[in-house]
């Protein structure tokens, strides 16, 4: 009985992957910000991010994939420079919720694990989050995606070696972050 159920499950999964439409995508990001206070030193922050992804469209309403994110941040505060690097691997499942024409709204659930280093202090993190994704199909093969990171449900834990452990739980809408571009990630996917 167990073998029969296992064989049926494997055959359903294999059939789904044979009919899957493979896609590649990702995003690039660059940002710079300079703050010049009336009193004190100016602060300049420069950031760069690279986030490729690969996935499978199992049908027109469900996608599975994995994304990798690499970020670099450099801050100069009055001649004192700090640098940080981070990475994150995030398998995800994406489900279409609403569609009108070429525009659609998807729900995306991510599991993630990551790490990084800031001024010789190593950090690791893991977690889960659920967020909306806006998708616009430019053609049958090319789509633009916008992850709305300010609307989410999430849990994460970050540990800085020999310093601290931070556990976070986020729920709901953060209207303060709506105008923060770092909370809206725009990318693309190309379906083969």
Q: HSE on the CB side for 164, CA within 13 Å?
A: 2
Which tens digits make up the pLDDT trace of 41-66? 888 888 888 889 999 999 989 999 99
Q: Taking a C-beta distance cutoff of 8 angstroms, is the pair 148, 132 a contact? A: yes
- By percentage, how much of the chain surpasses pLDDT 70? 81
Which tens digits make up the pLDDT trace of 118-133? 777 898 999 998 989 9
What mean pLDDT is predicted for residues 91-98? Answer: 95
CA distances from 14 to 3, 18, 20 (A): 16, 6, 10
Which tens digits make up the pLDDT trace of 122-161? 989 999 989 899 999 999 889 998 877 667 788 888 888 8
What mean pLDDT is predicted for residues 165-173? Answer: 79
CB atoms within 10 A of CB 189: 21
The correct CATH number of 22-191 out of 2.40.160.20, 3.30.56.10, 3.10.450.50, 3.40.640.10 is 2.40.160.20
Residue 112 pLDDT level (bands cut at 50, 70, 90): very high
CA nearest 128: which of 114, 140, 118? 114
Residue 33 pLDDT level (bands cut at 50, 70, 90): confident
pTM of the model: 0.74
Residue 75 has pLDDT above 50, yes or no: yes
CA nearest 146: which of 109, 189, 113, 90? 189
């Amino acid at each position: 009985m167990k073998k029969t159920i296992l064989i049926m499950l494997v055959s359903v999964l294999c059939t789904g992957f044979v009919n899957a439409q493979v896609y590649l995508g990702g995003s690039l990001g660059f940002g710079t910000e300079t703050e010049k206070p009336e009193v004190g030193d100016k602060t300049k922050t420069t950031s760069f991010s690279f986030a490729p992804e690969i996935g499978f469209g199992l049908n027109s309403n469900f996608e599975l994939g994995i994304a990798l994110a690499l970020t670099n941040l450099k801050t100069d505060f009055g001649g004192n420079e700090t640098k940080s690097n981070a990475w994150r691997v995030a398998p995800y499942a994406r489900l279409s919720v609403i569609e009108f024409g070429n525009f659609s709204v998807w729900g995306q659930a991510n599991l993630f694990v990551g790490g990084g280093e800031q001024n010789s202090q190593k950090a690791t993190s893991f977690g889960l989050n659920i967020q909306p994704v806006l998708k616009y199909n430019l053609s049958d093969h090319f789509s633009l995606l916008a992850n709305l990171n300010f609307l989410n449900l999430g849990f994460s834990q970050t540990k800085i070696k020999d310093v601290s452990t931070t556990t976070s739980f986020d729920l709901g809408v953060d209207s303060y972050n709506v105008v923060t571009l770092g909370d809206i990630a725009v990318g693309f996917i190309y379906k083969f």
